[in-house]
Amino acid sequence: MKTYRERSREELLAMKEELEAEYKKFQERGLKLDMSRGKPSAEQLDISMGMMDVLSSSAQLKCREGVDCRNYGVIDGIQEAKELLADLIEVPADKIIIYGNSSLNVMYDTVARSMTHGVCGSTPWCRLPEVKFLCPVPGYDRHFAITEYFGIQMINIPMTPDGPDMDLVERLVSEDASVKGIWCVPKYSNPQGITYSDETVRRFARLSPAAEDFRIYWDNAYNVHHLYEDEQDTILEILEECERAGNPDLVYKFSSTSKISFPGSGVAAISASLRNLKDIKKQMSVQTIGHDKVNQLRHVRFFKNLAGIQQHMMKHAAIMRPKFEAVLEILERELGGLEIGSWLKPRGGYFISFDSLDGCAKAIVARAKEAGVVMTGAGATYPYGKDPHDSNIRIAPSFPPLEELIQATELFVICVKLVSIEKLLGDMQAS
């Protein structure tokens, strides 16, 4: 098979005509499909419905410590929720705080607190002339939105198959005291599905930051979000590695049950050294009387323990796997060998990351949209929404039913082909 670049102008024009016809047929179908966000499907939500019935008598609403979970109090979470979430993210139960429904909100609060109050006694960031964050790219748009909102300067760090480019990270962190943090999704990363290698995690733990208030923002969003029962990524536990490296305070580890139970009605957590947790609790005690303990208890009663979560995640996997496989099959079948796009085959997480030819991503997403398929906005995976190569597109296969997902992906590959041909034709004209 010829690659697109090996095709003559005439061949490309002929192919374009055919593709335009196929595209038009899609348009006529009046599709309304959404592959934009990492939302679980209704089918996935149904497997957690048992949660709605585990607390129905007053007696059931007392937690193990005897606290009435319906009332005020217990600011950092009930003990059994701490144990469940701690097991989930592989940390000791005394190094965790349980929050409300959103780990994004916990991350926001962490940055906001650093702005107004500094980190463990450091100068509040709002008093500094400049604050910078490192942003492995492609990455998660909502992370970048937080740092952008606070006027924090973001620096792109290229991702490699082993995680962020650690040579660059080490250099910037050790040389520049205005670098205060790095956003990481270390396992089944958003959007590439990459899991950081042991060496990468160890290099993170051994960082020597110029800034005392530098922290790694370790968003453990997809820790148990495997697609397969037998092929699962594993990752070194960062808190332990940081302790071992003599840097116990270096990391904040965020997590939640959002894509385990109900997104929006889950339970979030932060894990960190006791010194960091003490710093955080000073704020928390002013911010709230306590988070929703009834919901914490609901999760504990439903999942029971880590094994319960793991079994539950295999039900999610059974729903997600065919969707990922369908997208990957279509990409491979339609685009394999054409050299107009590349992608990774993740073993977990919520996304497939697609890289088009340079300068094509925006046009591909626009084309898809005009035919009724909404993708994540091109550029969204980069700080400030600016993909310097205009090539990365995040595919989110989870939400649409399989049938719709197949249609959407078939349209997507047509768009990729069309836009790529247009680009190649343009290049020919220019040269």
CA distance 59 to 62: 6
| Nearest Cα to Cα of residue 147 among 163, 161, 131 | 131
> What's the closest the beta carbon of residue 285 comes to a second copy, in angstroms?
8
Pairing status of strand 352-356 against strand 392-395: antiparallel
Q: Within positions 150 to 209, which residues make up the interface with a second copy, using CB under 8 A? A: 150
* CA dihedral over 17, 22, 28, 31, signed as positive or negative: negative
Site string for a second copy, 97-136 (x = CB under 8 A): ---xxx-xx--x---x--xxx------x-xx---------
In angstroms, the Cα distances linking 95 to 77, 204, 253, 277 are: 12, 19, 10, 7
> What's the closest the beta carbon of residue 138 comes to a second copy, in angstroms?
19
User: Which CB atom, from 112 or from 168, has the smaller least distance to a second copy?
Assistant: 112
CA distance 220 to 209: 22
Q: How many CA atoms lie within 13 A of 90 on its CB side?
A: 11
Residue with tokens 């685009």: 335
Q: Can residue 283 be called a binding residue for a second copy (CB under 8 A)? A: yes
* CA dihedral over 165, 169, 170, 171, signed as positive or negative: positive
Q: Which position among 95, 215, 291, 367 is part of the footprint of a second copy (CB under 8 A)?
A: 291
Q: Which position among 69, 154, 300, 340 is part of the footprint of a second copy (CB under 8 A)?
A: 69
Site for a second copy (CB under 8 A): how many residues?
Answer: 55
> What's the closest the beta carbon of residue 202 comes to a second copy, in angstroms?
33
Q: Can residue 48 be called a binding residue for a second copy (CB under 8 A)? A: yes
Q: Can residue 348 be called a binding residue for a second copy (CB under 8 A)? A: no
Q: Which position among 2, 11, 29, 71 is part of the footprint of a second copy (CB under 8 A)?
A: 71
CA distance 308 to 85: 12
Q: Can residue 66 be called a binding residue for a second copy (CB under 8 A)? A: no
Binding interface with a second copy (CB under 8 A):
37, 39-40, 42, 45-46, 48-49, 52-53, 55-58, 68-73, 100-102, 104-105, 108, 112, 115-117, 124, 126-127, 142, 145-146, 149-150, 258, 262-265, 283, 285-295
